[in-house]
């Protein structure tokens, strides 16, 4: 996680309500340690910072996990039972994942089967 190792700048009233030069961001020591998505904030592929919107990031992680599970189901022709056992989830969770993927238009059910659209 990126950390800021200095106190927040104070607004100087005698400077017209603007921070003085010593308070500018280039005078702070900023350690860019990244996160699990990227080693550095500057190299991050995400459109938003995971720390700015944690709920959004949880949704992205869940969608990625769902995609991996459905992809494994199709690639290895796993049944519901095999999928549940392999990923240590319940049968009901497998059905919820399939439903979420259908709703996200990741699964094509037009031919009666369930084909992963984005592979």
Per-residue model confidence as pLDDT tens digits over 27-42: 667 788 888 888 998 8
- CATH tag, 54-116: 1.10.10
Residue 116 forms beta bridges with which residues?
107
Residue-range domain boundaries for the chain: 3-43, 54-116
Hey, how many other C-beta atoms are within 10 angstroms of the C-beta on 106?
20
Token digits of residue 26: 């280039």
Per-residue model confidence as pLDDT tens digits over 40-76: 988 989 888 888 999 999 988 888 899 899 999 989 9
CB 114 within 8 Å of CB 107: yes
Q: What is the pTM of this model?
A: 0.57
Q: pLDDT confidence of 94, banded at 50, 70, 90?
A: very high
- H/E segment holding residue 116: strand 115-116
Hey, how many other C-beta atoms are within 10 angstroms of the C-beta on 101?
21
């Amino acid at each position: 996680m990126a950390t800021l190792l200095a106190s927040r700048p104070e607004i100087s009233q005698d400077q017209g309500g603007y921070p003085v030069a010593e308070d500018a961001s280039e005078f702070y020591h900023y350690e860019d340690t990244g996160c699990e998505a990227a080693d550095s904030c500057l190299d991050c592929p995400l459109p938003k910072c995971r720390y700015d919107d944690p709920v959004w990031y949880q949704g992205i992680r869940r969608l990625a996990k769902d995609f991996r599970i459905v992809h494994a189901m199709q690639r290895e022709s796993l049944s519901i039972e095999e999928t549940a056992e392999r990923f240590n989830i319940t049968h009901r969770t497998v059905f919820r994942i399939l439903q979420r993927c259908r709703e996200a238009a990741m699964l094509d059910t037009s031919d009666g089967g369930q084909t992963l659209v984005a592979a």
